[in-house]
Amino acid sequence: MARVMIFNGKDWEPLDWDAPATEVKIDRALNAPTIIELELPAGYNANKHKGYPWAYRDMAHVVVEDDKGAAYAGIIKESPLSTGLSIAAYGHSCYAEDMPWKGSAQKWTNMDSVTGFRRVLNHIISSNDIPRLQLRGATSGGAKVGKAADPGYKALTARIKQAQAFVNRRENKVSYWERLQRTYARKMFKASGRTAVGEVVLMNKKPTAADAGTNKAVIEYEGNSEYNIVAVSFWNWTGVGAGNWARRGTSAILDQARKWVSAERSKERAKDTYPTYEIRVKDLTAERDEKYPDGEAEPYEINWWQNRNLMDTLNELADLGGFEWYDTGRWVGDEFYPGIEIMTKDRAIRQDVHLELGINIHEAPDLIPQQVATHVTALGSGEGSSTLRAERSMSHTRLVPVHRTISSKDYRTKQLVNRAADAEMSKSRKALTPQLEGLTITDHPLAPISSFQLGDRIPVVGTLSDGSDLDAVVRVTAIEQDLAGNTLSVEVEGT
């Protein structure tokens, strides 16, 4: 029978080295917290530590050690009492459940997926002050999360920004100088005692009656410089069809006239240059979109408003990186250290374990035909035509076209939506042959219970009920142990 130990939640102070459990079940799985279920006598929690029962939720750790020395641990999350005390403890990865990201927003490009996974786990450990929890296994995985911008895309974007900055600058717009000219003209007319403002023109001679116009002003300059202004003439009507020019040369009038001329020249330059920069922005944008349609950076983002359950974030990173993880633990002297193991590579097919129908597998396994799709569409976040989408297809000599669409708002980037489409198509290819979905294995010298590990690849042989031979390799994805009944139930997937 297994040995069950209880430790204080905060500091791992031993509370009970040998708890009197009558039932012990352990359910382990890849990419999910371990679940430990115990049955204890109803009066067990009469034992108190600092005023609270020994085995109380969120206050105590459970460590179970089987008779082969393998150890499993969890934090107590359920402890209802009826005729007995039923304990449910979850592996220490459960700290990620429903925990939001608490730090500053992160944007990752070309981040190693395992490195990112470890960063999130370390964030969880530090934010919760989790004692002794260790990260083990792989430190890098090769796959990257978050896409950096293509160098060519970045270069064109920089040129677009430069041209767009010119377009956006108000001093480069015709409308800006037209506005200033109206202001200077109004002040020039006001300085001459006039309230009505009319046309303003620039001449290098005195105006004549032929140049007359209602509320018109002529800025006169001498020589070759338009800024060498000598006077401003304003037209006055004196009768029907008759009038004269009132020539003024006060400093206030001449100052506004020079400003008006300066604005006129700036306006003319803007008319020449502004359209060329507008065209440049459009041309460069079109070039970038044509040459680098997927060149834009697409970082993997972590923040508090999107990452509200870090367990989902961990599994998303594991899925993107193509690796898996599971709860584990080990003794260091008399101290137990829970851990999370990261596994990036498939294990070699085990040759030391023999699984055979009728020998250590007494229940006929289910071989279940799976749903196949020849065309897969994955839809992610976005609206209308901007919705992220990925398509995958395969051909087969016998299959008629079968379409499947999957969608989730959690596919926030092209990388995520592509990964979802790839995974669905991979599942469909595997489904072309019936899949062995579960095995119930009895402890046997050919397959000792303690030898099975998550991720193991194991050959299975035997004769099926239809007389055909079974010769398959399965991969262990979950293990459920009943240590009292000495049985092992294994969930597998075909490889």
Cα separation, 344 vs 160, in Å, equals: 42
- Helices and strands per DSSP (H, E), number in the chain: 6, 30
pTM over 0.75: no
Domain boundary among 279, 301, 336: 279
pLDDT band, very low/low/confident/very high, at 7 (cuts 50, 70, 90): very high
Query: In 377-488, which residue ranges form alpha helices assigned H by DSSP?
Result: 414-430
Domain stops at, among 239, 262, 279: 279
Across the range 86-91, mean pLDDT stands at 94
* 223 dihedral zone (left: phi>0; alpha: psi -120 to 50; beta): left
Q: What's the mean per-residue pLDDT of the chain?
A: 89
* Residue 180 within any structural domain of the chain: yes
The verdict on residue 198 lying in a domain is: yes
How confident is the model at residue 68, as a pLDDT?
Answer: 79
Rounded CA separation 13/350 (Å): 39
Looking at residue 481, what is its pLDDT?
85
Residues 6+ apart with CB under 8 A from 465: 364
Domain count, the chain: 2
Residue 404 lies in a domain: yes
- Which amino acid does the sequence have at 72? Y
Q: Give the closest residue to 423 by CA, choosing from 327, 318, 297, 344.
A: 318
Domain membership flag for residue 300: no
Give the pLDDT mean for 363-378: 83
Q: What is the mean pLDDT of residues 10-15?
A: 92
| Structural domain contains residue 238 | yes
* 266 is a domain residue: yes
d(CA 278, CA 19): 78
Which of 228, 254, 279 terminates a domain? The answer is 279
pLDDT tens per residue, range 424-454: 898 888 887 777 766 777 777 877 766 888 9
pLDDT at 60 over 70: yes
Q: How would DSSP label each residue in 159-210?
A: HHHHHHHHHH-GGG-HHHHHHHHHHHHHHHHHHTT------EEEESS---GG
Has residue 61 got a pLDDT over 90? Answer: yes
Question: Does 365 map to a domain?
Answer: no
DSSP 365-398: PPEEPPP--SEEEEE-S-SGGGS-EEEEE---SS
Residue 133 has pLDDT above 70, yes or no: yes
400: domain range?
A: 373-425
Q: Encode pLDDT of 254-299 as tens digits.
A: 999 999 999 999 999 999 999 999 999 999 999 999 999 888 889 9
Q: Tell me the C-alpha distance between 10 and 23, whole Å.
A: 26
Short-list 268, 244, 265, 249, CA closest to 188: 249
**Strands of the sheet with 335-343, listed across from one edge:** 134-137, 335-343, 324-332
Residue 334 in any domain: the answer is no
